[in-house]
Amino acid sequence: MKKRTLLHCALALVTAPWAFGAAAQDFPPKKPVTLVVGFAAGGAADAAARLIAKKLGENIGQSVVVDNKGGAGGNIAHQFVAGAAPDGSVLLLGSVGPLTIAPHLMKLPYDPFKDLAPVSGGVNFPNVLVVHKGAGVKTLAEFVQLSKKKPGSVDFASTGAGSASHLAGELFNQRAGIDMTHVPYKGGAPALQDLLGERVTSYFAAPPTALPHIEAGKLIPLATTGLTRPSYMPNIPTVAEAGYPGFEALNWYAFVAPGKTPPAVLERWNQEIVKVLNDAGVKEALNKHGLTPQPTTRAELAAFMKKESAQWAATIKERKISMD
């Protein structure tokens, strides 16, 4: 009896930690893997997600399905993932808006720094301010002149309230002393569709979705929002060059997971995502879409998010930007 009890204790000591570790650190997860995107299919986030998900699936030997949950500037998707099972089966291609801008504009049902865990940086790119041909302007100066001539009559599309494209427009309102009207959409694709249909005047668009229409002559590019001209738009001035020094409004996407996902699983996903972002074929494909890969460690992403959050908080306060 005594020997049997000792044997049971010994087996418990050996198997319990192993069983716990296996359950907490299963990789890849035994259930289907989902990569959630906060915007409609056809936009920059969707393009990046599908390129990366395909290679991720090939590398781990399991399909990674992209799930588009558009709406509320990406906040719907972020809230969904914040409440998802923290077992490594759900990842989010999070974006600058919900992660570092929206918290300073509205009360959110989740905390980006507590309910979501950083995994790795994803991609970044500047926006490009484009107008439809019927707007009758070809330069940023002409656009500002039109806005001042008819206050409130010029509008700009965005991928949703609190998104990077929204804040880029609001920041330009403040810097240029104009009053464009904000028109939020559920993603880049529907915003672009209405711009092409001349139902909205302008859009601080993602290059991947805007470039084909610029090259086809359907949209007029006025300026990009980075501090330097991107290599794929060498002839388009930056907003800073066009008369507004220091203007910068970059767009970026990063990988996060439900906040309580085990650290070991988060580290494994970091390794896999960094591997994909450093893959020559993936880098080339992303670059063709105007997207720059931004792989990071988990700690680097956490520090970057905190820095971005502080910068946008200061901008929102200084420019008195609100959701009204």
151 within 8 A of 230, measured Cβ to Cβ:
no
- Cα–Cα dist 294/292, whole Å: 6
Find all residues with CB under 8 Å of 262, minimum gap 6, and list them: 24, 25, 86, 88
Residue 45 near residue 77 (C-beta atoms within 8 A): no
Q: Taking 70 as the threshold, does the pLDDT of residue 1 lie above it?
A: no
Q: What is the pLDDT of residues 125-177, one digit of tens each?
A: 899 999 999 999 999 999 999 999 988 889 999 988 778 888 899 889 989 99
For 103-164, give the secondary structure using H, E and C.
HHCCCCCCCCCCCEEEEEEEEEEECEEEEEHHHCCCCHHHHHHHHHHCCCCCEEEECCCCCH
pLDDT at 17 over 70: no
Are the C-beta atoms of residues 169 and 128 closer than 8 Å to each other? no
pLDDT at position 181 over 60: yes
pLDDT of residue 274: 98
CB 69 within 8 A of CB 80: yes
Strands across the sheet containing 202-205: 181-184, 155-158, 202-205, 128-132, 219-224
Strands 155-158 and 181-184: parallel
Instruction: Assess contact for 277 and 124: CB atoms under 8 A.
Output: no
Nearest to 73 by CA among 162, 157, 155: 162
Q: How many helices (H) and strands (E) does the chain have?
A: 11, 11
Residues 6+ apart with CB under 8 A from 298: 117, 118, 119, 120, 266, 267, 270
How confident is the model over 44-66, as a mean pLDDT? 95
- C-alpha–C-alpha distance, residues 82 and 29, integer Å: 18
Residue 10 has pLDDT above 80, yes or no: no
Of the candidate ranges 19-23, 201-205, 219-223, the one whose mean pLDDT is the lowest: 19-23
Give the count of beta carbons closer than 10 Å to the beta carbon of residue 156. 25
In whole angstroms, give the CA distance from residue 85 to residue 91.
10
Question: Model confidence over 259-317: pLDDT tens digits?
Answer: 999 999 999 999 999 999 999 999 999 988 888 899 999 999 999 999 999 988 987 88
pTM of the predicted structure, to 2 decimals: 0.77
pLDDT at 27 over 50: yes
Q: How confident is the model at residue 324 (pLDDT cuts 50, 70, 90)?
A: low
Q: Peptide bond preceding 207: is omega within 30 degrees of 0, i.e. cis?
A: no
Range 235-257 burial, b when 16+ CB lie within 10 A, else e: ebbbbbbbebeebbbbbbbbbbb
Cα–Cα distance measured from residue 11 to residue 34, given in angstroms and rounded to the nearest whole number: 36
